[in-house]
Structures are given as C-alpha cells and as structure tokens.
C-alpha cells in the first residue's frame, strides 16, 4: 500500500461533517439507489446493525462508507469518495482498509456493466480489490421509498464460496430494505 494514511472512523449524528456527507451522498447515488437522507440519519442514530464510516486521509475527510452487520456477512450499502479527490488511490486504500478490518464475508450491490457510464469502471474497481461478481444470480434491489423502482443489480463478494446468495438476499432485504 502507498504511504498515505487512511483511517475509517465511525461517526454519530453529532458529527460536524454530516451536511457534507449528505451532499456527497446525494451527488454520488441516483434516487433509486439511495434511501432518503433522514432515514440515513435515523439508521446512524438508532440501528445497531448500521455503521457510517468517515474516510480520512491524513486527518482530512475524503469520503464515507456505510456498512451493515448482517450476522454472517457484512453488507456495504454506499461508498463514495469526494469527486475532487478521486483517481488518486484513496478509494482503493479505503476499501482495502475496510476489508482488512472485517472478520466475515463482505457483500455489495453494483449496477450491471452497461447500466450506467460508470458501471463497468465500478465493477472493475471491486474486482481489482478482490471481489467477485455473482453473475449467475438474479438480484433485485427493492425500492428505497414509495414511487421508486426496484433495480436489477449485481451482487459482489470477497468470498463467493462462503456465502449463499439467496440467504444473503433475504438478510439484505429484511434488515436493509425492511421487506
């Protein structure tokens, strides 16, 4: 790893950068792929399964990662680096630090290649950092809010042999999406 100092720090709702995180969150994810911000704040405050991590480089805030503890796996819901700080290795260093801190498989959802201009690049990022796409598994993200569509996404994991995609889907749908 490079000489940069990356830290992941769990935050609470009193964190002074919360307004910055809201802007970054809303800029980084389309409405159908994010929960309303007031729900993010509610998860931070009341849900012991949910963690919101500030990504720091040399003590400067550069992004965030949200993570769910789903008993047998960790589910990464959202991960964003400030656009002005991307393409310098920060995201990779932060993601590597996250994976190194976990004691169970990691799972996340990403758009299928071709779904958005950024999708193939995003999948490539995760592959370079050890994740494998479960290409033969049909996964649908439930709507985050009424009026929003379900979204066909790709599940990716660092331990494809160690998880059952159907079980992981049930846990994500129950704990994350409430269905």
CATH code for the domain in which residue 37 is found: 3.40.630.30
- Is 123 a domain residue? yes
pLDDT of residue 145: 85
Element (H, E) at 24: helix 18-28
Task: State the residue range of the domain holding 148.
Answer: 6-176
- Is 150 a domain residue? yes
The CA–CA distances, whole Å, from 172 to 17, 102, 149, 158, 179 equal: 27, 18, 17, 16, 9
- Is 20 a domain residue? yes
What is the rounded (10 degree) CA torsion for 150, 152, 158, 164?
Answer: 80
Q: What percent of the chain has pLDDT over 70?
A: 98
- Is 39 a domain residue? yes
Instruction: Tally the domains of the chain.
Output: 1
- Is 10 a domain residue? yes
What is the pLDDT of the chain when averaged over all its residues?
A: 94
- Is 1 a domain residue? no
- Confidence category of residue 34, pLDDT binned at 50, 70, 90: very high
- Is 49 a domain residue? yes
pLDDT of residue 1: 40
* Residue spans of alpha helices (H) in 34-178: 37-46, 90-101, 119-128, 165-171
Measured from the Cβ of residue 19, the count of other Cβ atoms closer than 10 Å reads 9
Measured from the Cβ of residue 106, the count of other Cβ atoms closer than 10 Å reads 22
- Is 164 a domain residue? yes
């Amino acid at each position: 790893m490079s000489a940069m100092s990356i830290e992941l720090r769990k935050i609470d709702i009193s964190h002074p950068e919360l307004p910055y995180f809201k802007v970054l969150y809303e800029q980084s994810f389309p409405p159908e792929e994010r929960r309303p911000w007031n729900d993010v704040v509610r998860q931070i405050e009341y849900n012991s399964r949910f963690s919101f991590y500030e990504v720091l480089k040399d003590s400067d805030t550069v992004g965030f990662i949200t993570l769910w503890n789903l008993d047998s796996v960790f589910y990464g819901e959202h991960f964003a680096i400030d656009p002005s700080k991307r393409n310098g290795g920060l995201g990779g260093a932060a993601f590597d630090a996250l994976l190194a801190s976990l004691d169970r498989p990691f799972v996340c959802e990403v758009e299928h290649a071709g779904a958005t201009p950024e999708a193939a690049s995003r999948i490539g990022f995760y592959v370079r950092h050890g994740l494998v796409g479960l290409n033969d598994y049909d996964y649908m993200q439930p709507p985050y809010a009424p009026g929003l569509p379900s979204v066909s996404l790709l599940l990716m994991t660092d331990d494809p042999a160690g998880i059952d995609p159907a079980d992981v889907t049930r846990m994500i749908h129950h704990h994350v999406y409430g269905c």
